[in-house]
Chains A and B, each alone.
Chain A
Amino acid sequence: MKLPSPFPENPPPGPFRPGFWKSPLRGPWLTSILGSILLVGLTIVASTGFLSHAAYEPGLGGNAIVPTDLDIPLIGIGFPNSISWLYAATQGLHVTVGYAVVPLLLAKLWSVMPRLFKWPPTDSPAEGIERALIGLLVASAVFQLATGIANAQNWYPFKFNFVVAHYYGAIIFLASIVLHVAIKIPVMRRAYRERGVLKPLREDLAATRPEPWDHDGLVAKDPDAPTISRRGLLAFAGGSAFLVAIANAGQFLGGPFRSLAFLGPRSTGHGDGPNDFPVNKTFAGAKIPEDGVGDSWRLKLQAGDKVVELSREDLLAMPQRTETLPIACVEGWSAERQWTGVRLQDLAALVGGAGTVTVDSLQPKGVLRKATLGNQHVRQSKSLLALRVNGEDISRDHGFPARVIVPGLPGVHCTKWVSTMTFGRSA
């Protein structure tokens, strides 16, 4: 039995009529190859995004930006801290591949545009529900790219909290892409079986023919002569993705590559000398009190009721360690420097602290003015309370008198202008 269609039989004029679509390139193979390439990119972007969420350790202290009772209950998985450049790499990939995905998504959407204007819009409940999910997929994909790009370029045209919105947007995207891929795998396999995975790439413009007509609605019924080959179209999309990526990639490759990031917002350093690397929050911007960082500054260490106060001289008199570690921002830039200071585990030992540590900054208010670090970060011997960078005192913008630097920890959790460190108590 077939349900009666609520739609008139004749399509409205324009793109709803099959004759509107003239491109000889569209077809299941083209959409499959574009979808396959896009899937690789989106997998990198999505997995690095969820890794970043885990790296913020939202289960600890006041770290959560997405409230923990409104989060997926697997946030305790943690983030490895043995590879110091891991967060710099995953977040650099998240932003740079996220940029590069834009032209690939545009090409993929172009290849399936006739399906948006399919007539009748649905001919079964199955198709209706499938199209609803496709709508969510397109909405969340474009939403994630648009909000991510705006955030990485410090532009906030939206009134919602970026982190929260980008997180729930990612969940909607994840749910709809998993289903979409599962449904389209048979279509892709058929296209690759019938046409070969890479065989159509051997065709130059003169050899480019339309794919055989089928009922999927992608192949034009009455196509024009081709003006570009399929491999030309892929080179166009891929070349655009490459151009977009190299305009930013230097920001996370760092060193001599930084100045090659010709459109990256962080392509320049910050001042001169050893402190010449980007800042995410300036001394003035964080409204750090002038008198708070003078000679009267004391670091307060706390574990239970045991309290120790140390001046900067006291800290410099303790065993100093030098570690080469990157400072890596969620916005996708990073810079590797040599940090000198006191190990976090040595500070914990002074007060008999164990477990996690909550690090407070002198910053009077604002999100991320403090962060809680997991036990694995405190125990990691490369984790420092840094006093110097590349052989010089840390500048005020980089956190003078002292800042935290931990391998593989998001930059905003490497608290600057540290005032208090509250450790857990050993049992």
Chain B
Amino acid sequence: MKAKYGRSPLHLLGHLAALAFVGWALLQAFEMSRFAYFVAWMIGAVLLHDALLWPLYSVMDRVVRTADGLATGHGRRLSALNHVRVPVGMWLVLGLVYLPVILERGEGNFTRVSGQTWDGHLGRWLLTGAVLFAASAILYGIRVARASRTWSTPSSRPVT
């Protein structure tokens, strides 16, 4: 059995139990209107990550790494790679999570239920970016200044 199946019988039973439970949930969900949209959104969720987000951030990361590699290769001694991709990554994730409110996608519904409007979410997201990038730039500046001081006066280093 193990040779043909590949893992223990417990593995098989566990998976059958889980699949049966999932089947039950799908059967109940089938009763709701627009079941096809539910399934389409489930598949779309995988595609959103595997076919859109992952390739997109991988390419962006490759571009930043290549640019940084070229710059460091031309005599700049301190890599700025993480000073770019960390704040940019944090800022983009923030934008992804708050995308509906930043783009005011649900403002019609929101106004209907709350009697209010959304103001300034896009602006505050941009300002968050400004703070993140500026903080990262200052940190990088400090590191560059420190490094160049050490490099220009090697005699000031403690002799060990």
Partners in one complex: yes
Residues 40 to 55 of chain B near chain A (Cβ within 8 Å)? 41-43, 45-46, 48-50, 53-54
Return the contact of A282 from the options B97, B101, B113 (Cβ within 8 A): B113
Chain B residues, CB < 8 A from A129: 12, 15, 19
A164 in contact with B100 given A179-B14, A232-B82 (CB within 8 Å): no
A426 at the interface (CB under 8 A from B): no
Query: Closest CB-CB distance, A220 to chain B, in whole Å?
Result: 14
What string of 1s and 0s marks CB contacts (under 8 Å) between B91-113 and chain A?
00110111111100111011011
The 10 residue pairs across chains A and B that have the minimum distance between CB atoms: A124-B6, A155-B106, A126-B6, A154-B106, A142-B45, A153-B100, A155-B100, A126-B7, A168-B29, A282-B115
A143 at the interface (CB under 8 A from B): yes
The size bracket of the interface on A is 35 or more
Chain B residues, CB < 8 A from A279: 113-115
The size bracket of the interface on B is 35 or more
Q: How far is B107's CA from A157's CA once the two chains are assembled, in angstroms?
A: 12
Contacts A/B (CB < 8 Å), 17 sampled: A1-B3, A102-B96, A106-B53, A129-B12, A130-B7, A146-B48, A147-B41, A154-B100, A154-B107, A172-B26, A175-B21, A178-B18, A247-B98, A263-B94, A270-B114, A285-B112, A397-B115
Chain A residues, CB < 8 A from B5: 124-126
Pairwise interchain contact A172-B22, C-beta atoms closer than 8 A: yes
Q: How far is B41's CA from A169's CA once the two chains are assembled, in angstroms?
A: 10
Chain A residues, CB < 8 A from B34: 159-161
Chain A residues, CB < 8 A from B32: 160-161, 164-165, 168
Pairwise interchain contact A161-B18, C-beta atoms closer than 8 A: no
Chain A residues, CB < 8 A from B25: 168, 171-172, 175
Residues 219 to 267 of chain A near chain B (Cβ within 8 Å)? 227-228, 232, 236, 239-240, 243-244, 247, 262-266
A183 at the interface (CB under 8 A from B): yes
B118 at the interface (CB under 8 A from A): yes
Pairwise interchain contact B18-A179, C-beta atoms closer than 8 A: yes
Pairwise interchain contact B109-A123, C-beta atoms closer than 8 A: no
Q: How far is B45's CA from A176's CA once the two chains are assembled, in angstroms?
A: 16
Return the contact of A142 from the options B48, B101, B102 (Cβ within 8 A): B48
Chain A residues, CB < 8 A from B76: none
Who on chain B is nearest to A124 by CB? B6
Query: Closest CB-CB distance, A287 to chain B, in whole Å?
Result: 11
A349 at the interface (CB under 8 A from B): no
Pairwise interchain contact B37-A159, C-beta atoms closer than 8 A: yes
Pairwise interchain contact A106-B93, C-beta atoms closer than 8 A: yes
B-to-A contact residues, CB < 8 Å: 3-7, 11-12, 14-15, 17-19, 21-22, 25-26, 28-29, 31-35, 37-38, 41-43, 45-46, 48-50, 53-54, 65, 79, 81-82, 86, 89-90, 93-94, 96-102, 105-107, 109-110, 112-116, 118, 121, 124-125, 128
Chain A residues, CB < 8 A from B102: 263
Chain A residues, CB < 8 A from B100: 149-150, 153-155
A227 in contact with B81 given A244-B94, A397-B115 (CB within 8 Å): yes
Q: How far is B25's CA from A264's CA once the two chains are assembled, in angstroms?
A: 32
Pairwise interchain contact A116-B50, C-beta atoms closer than 8 A: yes
Chain A residues, CB < 8 A from B107: 154
Query: Closest CB-CB distance, A411 to chain B, in whole Å?
Result: 12
Who on chain B is nearest to A109 by CB? B49
A268 at the interface (CB under 8 A from B): yes
A136 at the interface (CB under 8 A from B): yes
Return the contact of B19 from the options A70, A116, A133, A143 (Cβ within 8 A): A133
Q: How far is B124's CA from A243's CA once the two chains are assembled, in angstroms?
A: 13
Among B41, B50, B112, max chain A CB count under 10 A is at B41
Among A265, A266, A278, max chain B CB count under 10 A is at A265
Chain B residues, CB < 8 A from A281: 113
Who on chain B is nearest to A135 by CB? B46
Return the contact of B46 from the options A110, A139, A182, A278 (Cβ within 8 A): A139
Pairwise interchain contact A156-B109, C-beta atoms closer than 8 A: yes
Chain B residues, CB < 8 A from A176: 18, 22
Q: How far is B112's CA from A243's CA once the two chains are assembled, in angstroms?
A: 29
Contacts A154-B107, A168-B32, A179-B18 aside, 15 further interface pairs with beta carbons under 8 A come to A109-B54, A116-B50, A130-B15, A138-B45, A140-B45, A149-B97, A161-B32, A165-B32, A165-B38, A165-B41, A179-B14, A182-B14, A227-B65, A236-B90, A280-B114
